[in-house]
Amino acid sequence: MKEKENIQKDKNDIPKSSRSQNTYKDFNKICRAYYDELMHISKSDSPSLSKKDIIILNDVIHEIVDYSNELLAKHFIQEAKKILDIGLVISDFFLKIFGEMSEQGNNNSNNSKLSDKLKYPLSLKLLLLKANFKILINYENDYSNGEKNLNEIIEIQLYLKSSNYHLASSKFHMAKIKYFFKNYDDAQKYALEAKNLFENYNNDNKNFDEDNEKNKEEEDIIEKKITQNVSNIISFLAQIFLIKNEYKNAATYYENGYYLNLGRYGAENPQTEYFKNKLDLINEELKKYPSLSQPKPQTMINSNSPSYKEKNNNYKNNNNNYYGNIMHKGKADTFCFKIPTSSLYEPFLLSIYSLGEDDNNRYAPELFLGNLCFDKQKLARFLKLKGTNYNPMFYTDENLNIILGNIFCLNGLLSFNDKNLKSCLISSSCPMKKK
């Protein structure tokens, strides 16, 4: 009841804009005056704005966004929506006039320059659309108009070549809207696109200075946010597969979520425990009802489905395309192994098998010793990998041989030849040799 009373506050309680100290009524009038003036200018034969006009409009649009957030914080939802609606019309007129001014300046001779100039007014409209989307979804539960608004956001982000991080956030929002409308195939598609964009965020970051401590702190914060987002997407995808009765696929995603959070936060973290509990429950169901694990007739879109590639005897492979979802399999000196490729935000997983007598049956269940799980950040330092987009480098012949060559198996017990490699270990289900 108390929250409802806050929402229905008296109009006299509407806060002033912190930027200009204008009341809501006065600021509304100012915005409408700009709206009328821009509409008039847009209808002229040669519409134009001075540099001063552009600076003023830039300030007005930023104030609309800031003031709308201030109004939302005080539960004045409709008032925030009204000034955002005016702001969106202002931005449309601004974009139209700006485009015509740019065309006149270029004499239609250079479309690429015109395209670059339109990025400025589009970036202002993007701010307004994001603020408007928040109201439509979080306060009005208007998913239909929210979807239209979000489509425009994604279109502008693609035009502006926004970072993978921001585009991924929008794609995941779209996945949740599709889920609301029970369009599970599209929800799955958008979620997988978002996951891929988050995981490839580092590709954007070309100017990262590894020796700058401030940059390292910022990157660490961003990595934690990305890990949380990827974790949320994995849980979302698992839920979709449960709805579609694809229990085996759901189990795969819960397992991915478990190892992702285990690698980042450890076994006792609530998120790690959440995925572990989900995985245990679904595996119990699959044991009780084996038919649930049967694949569906249609092909599933799954960025984690491995295509198997056998390595004979010593680990050798001339194909250096490690961006695919490959399961690396082979035989080292003292054990056999399986290594699935994974994203940067999932641990490096190594499955160990005892050497059997039959090379055609290397991976029989009775030969399985357990899994080794390595922290990729520590492993990158061990392997002396440079740059930010180093995930494919874990799976080159050279680096896999370094890892495998430092692990030894005798009488079913594992040991490490290099203590620095062992320090990268997150967890092990393999029997280990005692010192």
pLDDT at residue 7 is higher than 80: no
Q: State how beta strands 348-353 and 368-374 pair.
A: antiparallel
- Tell me the whole-structure pTM to 2 decimals: 0.72
Average pLDDT of span 420-429: 88
- What span, in angstroms and rounded, lies between the C-alpha atoms of 374 and 371? 10
pLDDT class of 64 with cuts at 50, 70, 90? very high
Non-local CB neighbours of 357 within 8 Å, separated by 6+ positions: none
Range of 23-37, 343-357, 361-375 with top mean pLDDT: 23-37
Average pLDDT of span 122-151: 95
pLDDT class of 292 with cuts at 50, 70, 90? low
Say which range, 212-221, 263-272, 308-317, 399-408, has the weakest mean pLDDT: 308-317
Cβ neighbours, 10 Å, residue 150: 22
What is the CB-side half-sphere exposure of residue 117 using CA atoms within 13 A? 20
- What span, in angstroms and rounded, lies between the C-alpha atoms of 140 and 135? 6
Cβ neighbours, 10 Å, residue 219: 17
What's residue 413's pLDDT?
92
Nearest partner of 301 among 201, 175, 405, judged by Cα: 175
What is the distance, to the nearest Å, from the Cα of residue 200 to the centroid of all Cα atoms in its chain?
8
**Angle at alpha carbon of residue 409, lines to 358 and 384, rounded to 5°:** 115
Residues 41-58 pLDDT 10s: 888 888 888 889 889 999
The more confident residue out of 218 and 402 is 402
**pLDDT mean across residues, the chain:** 82
DSSP string, 279-337: HHHHHHHHHH-GGGGSPPSSPP--TTPPEEEE--SS--------SS-EEEEEE-SS-EE
- What span, in angstroms and rounded, lies between the C-alpha atoms of 411 and 69? 65
What's residue 294's pLDDT?
61
Residues 187-240 pLDDT 10s: 999 999 999 899 877 645 544 444 455 566 777 788 888 889 999 999 999 999
pLDDT class of 319 with cuts at 50, 70, 90? very low
Q: How far is CA 253 from CA 234, 238, 259, 346, 413, in A?
A: 6, 6, 10, 12, 30
pLDDT at residue 299 is higher than 70: no
User: Exposure string (b/e) for 86-100, b if CB count within 10 Å is 16 or more?
Assistant: bbbbbbbbbbbbbbb
- What span, in angstroms and rounded, lies between the C-alpha atoms of 394 and 403? 9
Non-local CB neighbours of 303 within 8 Å, separated by 6+ positions: 192, 195, 196, 325
Nearest partner of 34 among 52, 11, 57, judged by Cα: 57
